[in-house]
Structure 1
Amino acid sequence: LGSIALANITFAEVTEAGGLGQAYSRGHFDGIFGLGFPSLAVDGIDPPFSIMVAQKLVTQPVFAFYLGTHDGMDGELLLGGVNEDHYEGDMTWTPVLQQDYWTIGVDALLIDTDPFLGEHKAIVDSGTSVFAGPLDAVSILAGALSATPSRYGALYLVPCNETQNLLDITFIISGRSFVVRPEDYILDIGLPDKCLFAFLSIEIPPPRGPLWILGDTFMRRYYTVFDYGNKRIGLAKAAQAKGRNQPAAGSESEEIME
């Protein structure tokens, strides 16, 4: 993997991918590289990064994502370090609450400056193209930002020309504000006059849930460091982060185009 040679790796062979739906049939990927904690792995198989750490193949027990910009700059997954060229300002560190998904605490969610949601838990997940949250909360959030349900109940649409009239959404994490602007959370999906509101309804039951997911739409704006050794996540403004956003190939949002 890059310059890293992993020994004694177990692969899962997939013989039927129909259950992945449009994410697989329209996506441009050949497999899944799991970066969750070992407790989440199927059949107790060690995930690749934990093997890298155990085999001392990385300098530091961290990995970091830079998802690039919309003007052609490539993204980067750095295994074993942090690339300071890809972020601006200070790094904010927040502890991982559960060692399965990379779950952190969010102090509050604001619409503009108005409180919308108090303390809650969220997964920071590069494998999810958009934001996701509990059905009732996302429905209220969508209504507050002029988004209307699509014929797929979990997805909402907004007139593309309304982007400039919408409000910022702010996540308060470890006392710091992480602002997501309309050009970040309104996605161009190629529909006439309609754009995707990048908040998907999803129910994660107890004991892990309820949870929100901060996916690629969030991570594109904020450089994200996953500190496996210290069980924490670092967030800083990504260098040259800008919109208009587009969902990753194979994302759930593509299903509304059928």
Structure 2
Amino acid sequence: GSANLWVPSVYCSSYACSNHNKYNPSLSSTYRALNTALSISYGTGSMTGFLAYDTVTIGGIIDPNQMFGLSETEPGSFLYYSPFDGILGLSYPSISSSGATPVFDNMMNQGLVSQDLFSIYLSRNGATGSVVLFGGIDESYYTGQINWVPVTYQGYWQIAVDNIMINGQVVACSQGCQAIVDSGTSLIAGPPTEISSIQQWIGAVNSNNEYLINCQNIPSMPQVVVTINGIPYTLPAAAYVRQINGQCTSGFQSMSLPTAQGDLWILGDV
């Protein structure tokens, strides 16, 4: 989860910038510089640079005077191998680095969207065609009704989870817990003791802190049920097992994220 927009710039000399598109402010007549430094760290990867203003166009939406970051350093190898150039964060302004107004908040403030909401559709099984829609919901991407869940804290997209069950038994989050809905994470992360319980239930075997699964067991593995706002959401093994180059690993990961409301879970795009 993040709230900043940033792109690689011509001022970046990091290895990660060498194979990505780079923004050149000298080619923009609407560029306005700011003397504000920017530094962002993610679960994987980081960047440093500075803030500026320019017009950002997404689809048919023209967003003038958008504050964004120009990277000067992108350490490590993660961003080098990433298929994307920069990152457009969609979290609340309260977690925006250097006080930059997030893109969607700027769209709302300027009346550029018909509804003050955005929606995300993630295609399955690595297929192309995922969509982010600013200002509306495309009914062709879902069946049934939409279940609305209250946000418990306006930082990340944080919600309350009732419990997590396997085979009718509560195996984690037994007293309720707080979770972040994060499209930028490809795992479900939670407190180490509770994740360890889930790994045992699904039959994952620890090998150097990576939980391995026999790919042939996927059809017989249990469903994991996450109950949110009284509604159960069922994850079959095919959804929570990661299959890469013939090796299968658990999509559950231990991570300590303590807050005043207790340890946070992260609900990624499993």
Q: TM-score, normalised by structure 2?
A: 0.74
**Aligned counterparts, 1:54-93, within 5 A:** 54-70=109-125, 72=127, 74-93=129-148
Q: Which has the higher contact order (CA 8 A, sep 6+)?
A: 1
Give yes or no for contact 2:120–2:133 (8 Å, CA) kept in 1: yes
Q: Give the deviation of 1:96 after TM superposition.
A: 0.2
Residue in 1 aligned with 2:91?
36
1:142-172 CA-to-partner distances (Å, cap 9, x unmatched) read: 1221112232x3x422111111121000011
Query: Structure 2, unaligned stretches of length 5 or more?
Result: 1-57
1:179-228 per-position Cα deviation (integer Å, ceiling 9, x unaligned):
0000101111114xx302101211112236511111111xxxxxxxxxxx
After TM superposition, give the deviation of residue 46 of structure 1 in Å. 0.8
Distance in 2 between residues matched to 1:209 and 1:17, nearest whole Å: 32
Aligned equivalents of 1:73, 1:45: Cα separation in 2: 31
SS at match of 1:56: coil
Task: Write the deviation string for residues 111-152 of structure 1: whole angstroms up to 9, x where unpaired.
Answer: 12111122111100111011111112111211221112232x
- Residue 229 of structure 1 corresponds to none
1:129 counterpart residue number: 186
Summarize the alignment of residues 1-258 of structure 1 with structure 2, pairs less than 5 Å apart: 1-19=58-76, 21-22=77-78, 24-70=79-125, 72=127, 74-117=129-172, 118=174, 119-151=176-208, 153=209, 155-191=210-246, 194-207=247-260, 209-217=262-270
> Partners of 1:71 and 1:121 in 2: how far apart?
29
Distance 1:123 1:110 in 2: 18
Rounded to whole Å, the distance in 2 between the matches of 1:5 and 1:112 is 49
SS in 2 for 1:13: strand
Superposition RMSD in Å: 1.6
* Shift in Å, 1:91: 1.3
Amino acid at match of 1:35: L
4+ runs deviating over 3 angstroms: none
Q: Which has the larger share of strand? A: 2
Displacement of 1:18 in angstroms is: 2.1
Query: How high is the TM-score relative to the length of structure 1?
Result: 0.78
Residues 25 and 184 (structure 1), Cα distance of their counterparts in 2 relative to 1, 3 Å cut: same
Extract unaligned runs of 5+ from structure 1.
218-258
